[in-house]
Structures are given as C-alpha cells and as structure tokens.
Chain A
Amino acid sequence: MDAILFSAADFHVLKPVILLCLFGCGILITDAFLIRNRADRWKNAIPALAAQVAVAASLVQHLGDVRSGGAFSGLNGSMQVDGFAVFFNWLFVLAASLAIVISARYMGAEGEHRGEFYALLLFAQAGMSVMAAGYDLVVLFIGLETMALSFYVLVGFLRDTRRSNEAALKYLILGAFSSGLLAYGFSILYGISGSTNLGEIAKAVAARSEGDLALFLALITCSVGLLFKIAAAPFHMWAPDVYEGAPTPVTAYVSVASKAASFALMLRIFLTAFESAAEAWMPLLGAIALVTMTIGNFAAVTQTNVKRMLAYSSIAHAGYILLGLVAGNETGLRGVAVYLLAYVFMNYGAFALVAALRREGEAAEDIDDFNGLYHRAPGYTILLAIFMLSLTGIPPLAGFYGKYFIFLAILREGYYLVAVFAAIYVAVSAFYYFRLIRACWLLEEGEQQKPAQLDMNFGTRAALVACALLTLLIGIYPQPFIDLAGESVLAALR
C-alpha cells in the first residue's frame, strides 16, 4: 500500500495551520525555559508576531497560486484553498496581530501575563484557519472545536476575577450545547449523502425533495449551531456576559476573529451544502437578522459598561452581516466581506482604547469613566470618535461601506421593509455610540475620584493609529479593499 497519504501539495495547503501550531508549541517551550522574569513575559509576543509574519508569507504564496491557477485542494479534498479562504485568513492574521499587540500591557496590568496566552491565541487562529479552508464536515468541526476550546480558556484567563471565570464557564456550557447540535446536524448530513465532503453533500441535498424530513432536521440543527456561534438572536445570550467578563484583548479577538470565522463557516455551509435549499432558509435567516438587529441595538442603549455596550453592538452588527447572506447576491456577499474587514479595524480600535483605560491601576470600563477624556487625551479621543462614527456607519469611514453594500443588496432583492428597519436601527445605534463620544467631549470627570487615564505602551499606540488610519483609508479610498473582498468571496462561491 503505497498511497501517498501526505504529499508536498498537502503540506502547502496546510502550511498556515502547521506554522501556527509550531509557533504555539514553541512559545510554550520558550516561555517555560527561557523567560525567567515576570517582567519579561511580553517577549512572548515576539514569536507570536513572528508566527503572523510567517503565516502572512504563506498566505501571499497561496494568493499567488490562487490567482494564477485557481483554487486548489489538499488532503483528499478535505481542505480547499481559494480566494475565500485566503481572504478570511488575512482577517485572522490582522485580528491576531492586533490582539497580540494590545495584550502585552493589559495582561501585565492584570497580573496574568503568561506565555500560554499567546500560544492559545495562535491555537485559536489555527482552528479558524481550518474553518476558513475546510471543505469537509469533520475537518470543519475540528477547526471549530480547536478555536472554541482555546477561547474557553482565553475568556477565563483572569483566574482571580470572578466575572472572567463565570464567563468562561457559561461560554463552555453553551458552546458545548451548540457544538453538540451542530455535530448532530453534520451527522445527519453525512447520513443523507454518505460523505463528509461539502461538494458531495451539496449534490445529495440538491437531489432531495423539498419537504424532506432529514434535510429539515439537518437545516435546523446546523443553522441553530451556527447562529449561536455568530451570536444571532435568540442564541446571543452568551455574548454580553462573555464579552464583559473576558480580558479586553480577548473580547476584541472573540468579537472580531471568532465572528469572522463563524461567518466563514456559515457562508461555506449555506452557500455550498444548502445552496439548493436557499428558498427555505433565506426568509428564516432574514427574520433572525431582524430580531438580532432589534435586540442588539435596543439593548445596547441602556448599557453602562462599555464592553457590554460593544457586545450588544456586536450582536447588532452580526444581524447586518447576516442580511448580506440573506440577500445572497453578489453585492450582499461583497458587503459581508467588506463589513468584516472594516469591523476588524474599527472594533479593535474601540476595544484597544477600552483596554488601555485605567483608573489607579484598575480597569475602567464604564461609560462614565470616559467622561471628559477629550480634555486629558485629545488625540486618542479623536481616534475613539473615528471608531465610533465608523461603527455607526457614517461616511466616509470604513464602517459605512459594509452597511452600504448590504443595503444595496437587500434593496435589490426587494426586501424593502427589512431595509427600512435596518435604516432605522442605524439611527438607534447612533444613539449609543454617541453616548460615548458625548461622554468624552461634553461631560466632566467625577470629582470624588481620580480621572481614568489611558495606559498604553508603544505597541498599543501603534495598533490604535494603524486601526484609525485604515478605518479612514478604507473609507476614503475603498476601491482596492472592495475589489479584494469582492474577488475573494465571489471567486470561491460562484
């Protein structure tokens, strides 16, 4: 039996994942043997960033290959490298790099700065990478669980903080529940088609009649499992608690990267395996998107904790992104990709500032803590305003484009009522995003306590400025980004 089980081509496909795992393991070892001092722990960020550079290099290779020779697959067709996978991997690289950069100071200040933090960030990224490139149910599920397990630990990383522990436990229990459902759905899909390959499954699903019971079960369980992962209502309950409890850099990472990866998985499954049943799930997802936007936007209004407010806002954003999938046309999918790209920068920018804000060494996360910040740190407050305006979707900032394309897409499909609601919710969202800006500009810091200050190192500053510049750049000169996003997503799914 001389079948080649693992060829050079397979290695090429798997390279980003392998690199991430190697670097992750490497960090565990170097941290254990080389780093003696607590104060030197930040040095673990160096190999973690090196991993990002290495992954980026292999992504450049992948992109070149995809552009010249089209999509290619490996491991007997269970992984597929195409524009879609490469684009999402880029998102993960960006998100992970930013998370690494803003973590050092935060975790140091919280007294939980350890090597495995960075290793877990990389392992989670490896899982996401598999989710983006996987073309086989088993592989996809392994990717999902690798990511999820890493996140359970990361969320609870502040061992002495009860909120963090509570968040981790909730995330674990609910995550396991949804993973179970998803796995059940996957098993039914296997039952229907006799294969775990998405292409084969798509054929089998297309052959089924419309009211088929097995298909129906598979649709329910898969969609609920995936909707949980993107925190769509009514499966969003975990998000506010987890986002609030997790260390802030992890919150940013979960809200951006984990969401992007789950959307990648969702797009893959719904647009390949379930494509022929689109008639059945599109209205459902549309309704869920509306409910999600409603709950996210309205609940965000009354929050007093910024992380919680951003958590609900992130739920609302998931609703908008979902609308892109519901529209299902070219514009909509382009909108999803652009939205996710813009979301990386604006959301990280916002969370980086929240992570940096401290009052006498304690993390300051309430909206009141931002009172009068403009008069203490005008430059960074302007950056905050940029991120908030972008999250609202005000042109010419990056956040505008995602919303813009998604609006165009749903209007083109004739969902006028949905568009009207979505537009109204943009106005609602302005209400809570502006509360933060208003606090910075117009309100005064309380007199009893010392005002909260921004505590940043060079990395955080650089990350913030980079996020703001990219938010502006995508807003002012968006064409290359839109082209990149559009080309990647569309090439894979047509």
Chain B
Amino acid sequence: MFFLDSIWLIPMFPLLGAAVMLLFGRRLEPQHDQGPPADDHGGHGGGHGRPAGRTLVNILCPGMVLLSFLFALGAIFQLQSVEGHSYEVVKWTWLAGLDSATGMGLNAFTADWGFLLDALSAVMILVVTGIGFLIHVYSVGYMAHDGGYYRFFGFLNLFLFFMLVLVLANNYVLLFVGWEGVGFCSWGLIGFYFRKQSAQRAATKAFLVNRIGDAAFVLGMLLTFTTLGTLTFTEIGPALEAGGFQIENPWGPLSLLTLFFFIGACGKSAQIPLHVWLPDAMEGPTPVSALIHAATMVTAGVYLVARSSEIYVLAPNTMLIVAVIGALTAIFAATIGLVQYDIKKVLAYSTVSQLGYMFLACGVGAFWVGIFHLYTHAFFKALLFLGSGSVIHAVGGEQDMRKMGALKDKIPLTYKTMLIGAVAIAGVPGLAGFFSKDEILWKTFSAHQYELYALGLITAMMTAFYMFRLIFMTFHGDNRVDPRTHVHESPRSMTVPLAILAAGSILAGYVGTPIVFGPVHDMLPSLEHWLSSAVVVADAGEHHAAILEWGLMLLSVSLALLAIWFAMKTFKTDRYAGEPMHGILGKRCHQLFLRKYSVDEIYDRFVVKIGAQETGSQLGQIDRKVIDGAVNGVGKLTRRTSSLTIFGDKWIVDGLVNTIGYGVKFFSYPIRMFQTGMVQNYVLLFVIGLGVVAGYFLFE
C-alpha cells in the first residue's frame, strides 16, 4: 500500500515548491519584483522578457502539484480495496496526554499529525490537485509578463499545501491549521498587486472577515471537545454513539457546536452575512480567483459541514439555519450578479450564489449532494474564471463587459469553452451543473422545504440569465473594445487547461445521475454510493412518484432555457446598450439597488451621530487630542464607507468590518490618554490601582 502510506507526502510536494520559491525564488529572477504597474490586470505589464530562472519555476511548481495529483490518484486507486474506504496515517502525536473533564467523562486530549483518506477527502484531493495543476499550467501563460513571478507561484504552492492539509487532516485541530493557512495565502494572493490600494484593502478585508469565522471555529472546536471528548474524525461517530446523543430539539450542545462550525464555514465560504469579502477578493490575479476563490478554498466551509455530517444530523435546528442561509445567500448573490458589469464580479457573485446551493443541500440533509455540487462547480467555475482571464488577457486588461462585445470570432477557443461552462452552470441537461443542481432542488423539495425550493428555483433561473448576459455581452453584439487594443487568443498553456476543464464540465456530472434515470443510473458510477462511507446519507424517506421528479426536472430546465432565451433576446442586440438592466428590473428596483437599499445612509447617520457627536460631548472634558483622534477615526470611517463604490459593498456587515478596525483604534485612545510619560501620573495610577485592589478585598 505504498501510495496509501504516503498520503502525507501529497501536501509535502507543494510545500517543497513553496519553500524553494519563497526562500530562494528572488535569486531566480534578476529583474526583480518591481510589481506590476498600478493599472495592471494580469498579463500586460512591462513585458520583461523571460528570465532563465523562470523555466525552473515553470517546471518546479506545476511539477510538484502534478506529483501530488499522481500520488492522490495512486492512493485513491489503492483505497478502493480497503474495507470501509477509509485509511488513516498518523505520523506522530501532536498534542496528547492532557486529561480534561468533558461531557464524556475524563478524556485524554489528543490531536495527531494524522492524515485521513476516505471517500470524502478522496473527492476533495482530486479536485484540489487536479484543478490546482491545471490552474498552475494556466498561470504560466497568464502571469508571464508580471513581476513577482516566484512570489506568485510560491504562494500558490503554499496555498495548495495548506488546502491539502485541510482536506487530509484526520482531526479538527489539524484541519484548522490548513484553514488558517489557506486564509493567509488567500490574503497574500489577493494583495498580490500590492501597489494597488484597492488590492490592499480587499486583502485586509478578506482577512478580517475570515477572522470572525475563525473565532467561531475555535469555539466550535472547544465545545466539541468538551461535549464529545475527541476531535478526531473517526472517533466522533463512536463518541456520539457512546454518549447516547439523540436528535436535539430544541437546542443543546450539539446544535451550538454545529452552529459555531457553520459560522466558521460562513466566513470561509462567503455566506450571508460574512459574504462581503469574496467579491472584493477579485482584486487578486485571475488564476487565484479561479483556484482559491471559486474552486477550492471557498468550498472548505462546505467540506467542514459535510465532514461533521454525523453531528449535524443530530442538530435539526442548525440544519435548518444552514439551509435557510444557503438558500438566501444563493438568491441574494444571484440578484446582485444580475447588475454587475465587471466580468469577474459577475462570476464572484455567481460563486457566492453556488456556494449557497451547496449549503442548502447540506442543510436539507443531502450532504453528498453538497459535495457533488462542490465537485461539478469546481470544474465549470474554474473554467469560467480562467475563460474570463483569457478574455481579459485578450482585450488588454479590460474587465468591464460594456467595453467588450463581438469577441467570439477573435478568441474562438475561449468562446467555445466559456460557452460550455455557461451552459453547464445554467443547468442545461446533459452537462455537469444540471445533475448536481437538480439533485439539490429535488432533495430540497423532497425534504418538504417548499419555500427554499422556490428560492432555489428562482436562483437557478437567475443564474442562467446572468451567465448568458455575460456570454452575450462579452462575445456577441457590437464590438465595443477600445480600437487600439490588439485582440489575440491566449497562448497554448492557457487554452489547453480551458479545454480540459470544458471536457470536465460536460462529463463530471455523470457520477451523480438521478435515480429516475433508471438503467443509465445503474450503469454509471454513483458518487452517492462512494460517499456513503464518509458522510451521512439520509434514507430516501417517503417515496415520491417518479413522475413528480421528472416534472420538477422539466420545470427547472424549462425555466433555465426560458432565462437563456430572455438573456439572448435582451443582450444579443444592442437594444439596451446603456442600462439594459434598468429596463428589466424596473425603475424602482434598479434605483433601490443603486441606493444600496439605503442601509448605508442609515448606518452613516448612526455612526456619525452616536459616534462623533454624542461621544464628543460626553468626553468634552477630556484631553482635546483624544477627541480629535476619535472624531478623526469616525470621520475616516464615514469617509471610507462612503467611498466604497461597488454594489452590495455597503451592506451593514461591510461597515461592521470597518467598525471593528476603527472601533479597536477608538478604544485605544482612552488608554493612550493615561500614558502621559509623567512618572508622577504613573505613580498616581499605581496608587489608585492599589486602592482598587484593597477595595476589592475589603468589600468582597
């Protein structure tokens, strides 16, 4: 069992690549990191030529990922002959020997450097290494003209290392290591164009929002340990059994800990209300958006929920929350996607929306469907992002779809592959997206969540609409490209991965054909069957008539086709060249969107009034500097919130993130006030402290 015993090597290859790049990479690139010009959008910087060291980078970094992929394939091949499809490799004990009283009695806490390959992590490592490899190859072409080449690949490899640790970990603590690590790499890559202010801000924002989720994750871990006495995945099931845990209603420790985990997942997977960072994360280079912010890292939350499925099924209340948040995020992000002009922003909101679908599936108990959608989504969303990168590359860094159009003959390969991706995500039968999305809708329906089903259905329609809006605006209609731009197809290293992903987007769905397909279903491999060893697969429940499932399928397909037709009708011609969405959404709705639901104004008023005026008058006696500082802080906050431009950016949470930042600073002013530098004041405070301590003992 060579490959199974060396699953720990799978993350190590990219780590090696990352270490070489980050520590010695700079020497490989004599014309060092001047950074791209401020207006750069991938690939059209100075054109430095190709230093010899780059060849090494090009071989080493994708090569390491390829090695991981091959090892992953080998290990999964061998896994099939293992009983229970689960294989654990423990390298050494990481934390141990600490007895703690838990809900399960006195438990020795252990967390190992242990790696677990089971059906679930098998799917994940295939997605991560496979798509990761393709994106590495793509990046060779895409990043060819950028400075900081080694830094990019170093971080990308480091990201894969952490991502693989995340999915291969055999316990929550090690998973958390990967969890934090991918967050860190994401931060570094969003801010890759560090000379751009907006990129810096986006990186910081992503990091801060994620910290909220991470704090919840930590609390969830602690609660898990105190409740179940273990954090190792394979021991969770037995512990639940031994503890005699029943389905919890209304609330109990299991509901609480699953909720904490879900909040963590919300941060990582950009669900309401922590979704604000993902659209901004598009400031990173496009391959990063494809790999981290579409295919892999953002799906970690779904993975976490699926990984904890045994606990989740005992907490129906949390499940409901998961399903509702998922459905709401899906439709909410989809509506925003309708009005975006930035090609990457459309895809970003689409990602948020699709992630919502995955959580919806998990929330209604169909964990395997969530993973199924994760897996198909990885193909077509990576394809779409890479395709958009190719478009951006072709039109000289332009991202605004209003300045594209009629590109289909100039970059035919990109057009064809992106079309396949769009058809796949829209849910047209026969392609990957159809199978997974329809399965989600069906499971939601059969779980009697009819409201959520309706939301999902509308979202599906919107998805089809905005995707084809993107296709038609970009590739059809009049040519609105700046005439000075030389439009050209991308190099081979970029188009080949596109083609492979397009093939994947067509074929990936056939491992999860619906049962009503009868003989076809029986003939093809079943992901449900494969995953049943790792996640909870609910009983079919009451059997619905096959005709009902066929009917619903027909409904969703016809709605999707209708939306596509509508998009075609609207955008194929340039009838609505100026504000097409204005006509469709109606004046009031569009206006509401433009005003950002007025949340911002309310918030500004709230902060300015309470923050600056009230506090100011209360602190009137205190040192002028303190107040000035506070007012400046609040002023800055106000200015900053009002300067954010993109739609949806000004939701409460977004402001909240800033408030945390400035709130922290705000609180530190009174503390600084005491730090006068005068010894006599220090002694005075010392004596006051002494008095307080004495008072405590006296009046205790």
Contacts and interface: CB of A to CB of B under 8 A. Distances in A.
A241 B23 contact: no
A22 interface: no
A473 B677 CA distance: 40
A394 B211 CA distance: 11
Given A220-B690, A234-B686, A442-B203, A408 B98 contact: yes
Interface string A220-241: 1001100010000111011011
A280 interface: yes
Interface in B616-640: none
A302 B679 CA distance: 22
Given A216-B697, A220-B694, A237-B674, A395 B689 contact: no
Contact of A299 (B188, B672, B696): B672
Given A438-B204, A478-B95, A234 B180 contact: no
Nearest to B109: A408
Contacts of B218: 423
A14 B649 CA distance: 66
B669 interface: yes
Interface stretch (B338-346, B347-355, B575-583, B659-667): B659-667
A482 B667 contact: no
Interface in A379-400: 379, 382, 389, 394-396
A170 interface: yes
B700 A299 contact: no
A90 B183 CA distance: 36
Nearest to A389: B184
Nearest to A172: B679
B683 interface: yes
A375 to B, nearest CB: 6
B408 interface: no
Interface stretch (A69-77, A147-155, A262-270, A425-433): A425-433
B587 interface: no
Contact of B23 (A181, A378, A404, A442): A378
A174 B679 contact: yes
Contacts of A431: 208, 661, 664
A269 B396 CA distance: 71
Given A234-B692, A237-B674, A379-B23, A412 B697 contact: no
Given A423-B215, A441-B188, A237 B97 contact: no
Contact of A479 (B25, B33, B93, B176): B93
B219 A395 contact: no
A173 B680 CA distance: 10
B1 interface: no
A174 B682 contact: yes
Contacts of A174: 679, 682-683, 686
Interface in A340-386: 375, 378-379, 382
Contacts of A220: 690, 693-694, 697
Contacts of B93: 479
A443 B685 CA distance: 38
B32 A375 contact: yes
Q: Which of B93, B191, B668, B694 has the most CB of A within 10 A?
A: B668
Contact of A331 (B100, B184, B226): B100
A395 B177 contact: yes
A190 interface: no
Interface in A152-194: 169-170, 173-174, 177-178, 181
Nearest to A403: B218
Interface residues of B, number: 66
Contact of A301 (B25, B188, B204, B668): B668
A284 interface: yes
B688 A298 contact: no
A434 B207 contact: yes
Contact of B700 (A280, A401, A404): A280
A240 B211 contact: no
A411 interface: yes
Contact of B671 (A299, A420, A424): A299
Contact of B212 (A241, A408, A419, A427): A427
B284 to A, nearest CB: 12
Given A220-B694, A298-B667, A301-B664, A412 B100 contact: yes
B3 interface: no
B173 A395 contact: yes
Given A224-B690, A240-B675, A442 B191 contact: yes
Contacts of A170: 679, 682
A454 to B, nearest CB: 15
B33 A375 contact: yes
Where chain B touches its partner, the secondary structure class is helix
Given A427-B215, A434-B207, A334 B668 contact: no
Interface in B50-98: 92-98
Contacts of A394: 180, 184
Interface string B555-587: 000000000000000000000000000000000
B530 interface: no
B222 interface: yes
Contacts of B700: 280, 283
Interface in B204-224: 204, 207-208, 211-212, 214-215, 218-219, 222
A444 B22 contact: no
A426 B675 contact: no
Interface string B1-44: 00000000000000000000011011000001100000000000
A483 interface: yes
A476 interface: yes
Interface in B307-346: none
Nearest to B113: A476
A427 B657 CA distance: 12
B664 A428 contact: yes
A298 B211 contact: no
B211 A430 contact: yes
A295 interface: yes
A441 B689 contact: no
Interface string B163-186: 000000000010011001000100
A295 B671 CA distance: 6
Nearest to B200: A442
Which of B92, B207, B689 has the most chain A CB atoms closer than 10 A to its own CB?
A: B689
Given A174-B682, A442-B191, A302 B689 contact: no
Contacts of A219: 697
Nearest to B687: A177
Contacts of B677: 241
A477 interface: yes
A428 B215 CA distance: 11
B195 interface: yes
Contacts of B188: 441
B690 A441 contact: no
A112 B697 CA distance: 47
Interface of A: 169-170, 173-174, 177-178, 181, 216, 219-220, 223-224, 228, 233-235, 237-238, 240-241, 280, 283-284, 287, 295, 298-302, 331, 334, 375, 378-379, 382, 389, 394-396, 401, 404-405, 407-408, 411-412, 419-420, 423-424, 426-428, 430-431, 434, 438, 441-444, 476-479, 482-483
Given A238-B682, A396-B177, A424-B215, 16 more contacts: A224-B689, A224-B690, A235-B689, A240-B675, A378-B25, A382-B23, A394-B180, A412-B101, A427-B215, A434-B204, A443-B200, A476-B113, A477-B94, A479-B94, A479-B96, A483-B97
What are the 8 closest A-B residue pairs judged by CB atoms, nearest first?
A: A234-B689, A237-B682, A442-B194, A298-B668, A299-B671, A298-B667, A302-B668, A427-B211
28 contacts: A170-B679, A170-B682, A174-B679, A177-B683, A220-B693, A224-B686, A224-B689, A228-B686, A234-B688, A237-B681, A237-B686, A241-B677, A298-B667, A299-B668, A299-B672, A331-B98, A331-B100, A396-B177, A408-B100, A419-B222, A423-B218, A423-B219, A427-B214, A431-B208, A442-B194, A477-B92, A478-B94, A479-B94
